[in-house]
Structure 1
Amino acid sequence: MRILKENTTAVIIDIQERLLPHMNSKELLKNLTILIEGLKALDIPIIVSEQYTKGLGPTVSKIKGMLEDSENIEKISFSCCDEPKLQEKIDNLNKEWIIIAGIESHICVLQTVIDLIDNGYTPVVIEDCISSRKENDKKIAIERMKKEGAIISTYESILFELCRYAGNDTFKTISKLVK
C-alpha cells in the first residue's frame, strides 16, 4: 500500500525541553528537523503534542520555531488519542495515514500508535525520529508497533514516498534536506 500525501497528516509527540536531553539518540533533533521541513514542503498538516508542560517544559525552541502555525496541544495522558482536543483535531483532518515522530518510543509513541490503530488509522512510525532513554525500550516498542499493524519507515523514505515524483520544486527541496 502506497502512502499518499493527500491522505496523510503528522503528529509530533512531546519533543520538550526537559525530556529531549535524556534521549538515547544523538541525531534525533537533526532528523526531526529534516522530517518537519520535508513535511512542510509537502503541505502535510502537522499536529504537536506536549506532555505535562509544567513538569517537562514546552516544545524545544528549534521545533517550536519551525511549527509556528501549528497549535501545541497539552496532554496529561500518555496516548495523544486520550486527549479529546488532540483526537478531535486528528479526526477533523480525516486522513488515513498518520506519520508519527517523537518521544518516548515505549510510552507516549507506543500508546498513541496502538490507539490510532484501534480508531481506524494507519500510523507510519518514523524510526529515526523516535527515541527513548534506553535503546532496548525503543527496540521493543518498535517490535510491538509492527505487530499491532503500524508501518515503520525512515524520514528519507517517507519524504520521497510522499513526494512521489522527481523533477519538481518539492523534490528539489527534499533532496537538499536529506543530503
Structure 2
Amino acid sequence: MKKIAIIAISILAFSCKNQEESLKNMEEPAAQISTNMEGQSIYQFKVKDIEGNDFDFSKLKGKKIMVVNTASECGLTPQYEDLQSLYTEYKGKNFVIVGFPANNFEQQEPGTNKEIATFCTKNYGVTFPMMSKISVQGDDQHPLYQFLTQKDKNGLEDNTIRWNFQKYLINESGHLDKVIAPQILPTDEVIINWIKA
C-alpha cells in the first residue's frame, strides 16, 4: 500500500512539474513577442543612398532623425531650402534629415537618382543625406515606410502619407515620435521645439 502511495505521489509531482514547465514555456514567447514589438525601431533598416551606397540607420543611434519623402516637380519642392537650412543649423546638435525621393504623387519625381541629386545640389545646395528613389505607398511600398505608417510596426499610430514632403520625426531611441503634415514647413516651431527638447 505504501508503495502505491509513493508511486502516486511521484506521478502527481512529475505531472505538476511538467504543467508548470508548459505554462512557463507558454509565457516566455508572449514576453518575447512583447519585447520584440517594443524593440522595433528605425535602426533595423538598411537602404541605398542616392549614389547607390549602403546607408545603415543603426549608425544614427542617439540622433533625432527627420525622414521626409521628396519630389522635384511639386508645389512644395521649395521646402528643400528650409530642410537644408534646418539641417545646417542643427546637424551639429545630434539631428539629421534623411530624404527619400518618391514618384507616388502625380509623377512629381520622374527623374533618375543622378538627375535628382544634380537638381537638389544645383537648386537648393542640399547636403543632408538623400537616398535612392523608392515607393512610399501602394503595393510596392518600401519596408521602411511600412514601419513609419503602420502602428503594429512603429508602436505610435497608423497614418497615411498625404503628399510629398510629409515628415516623420524619430527620437534618439529610433522610435517614431511625431508625424508632420506635408504643408507644414520644416522650420515650423513644432519641429524646432522637438529638435531642441
Q: TM-score, normalised by structure 1?
A: 0.41
Higher strand residue share: 1
Structure 2 length as normaliser, TM-score? 0.38
Higher helix share: 1
- Larger Cα-atom Rg: 2
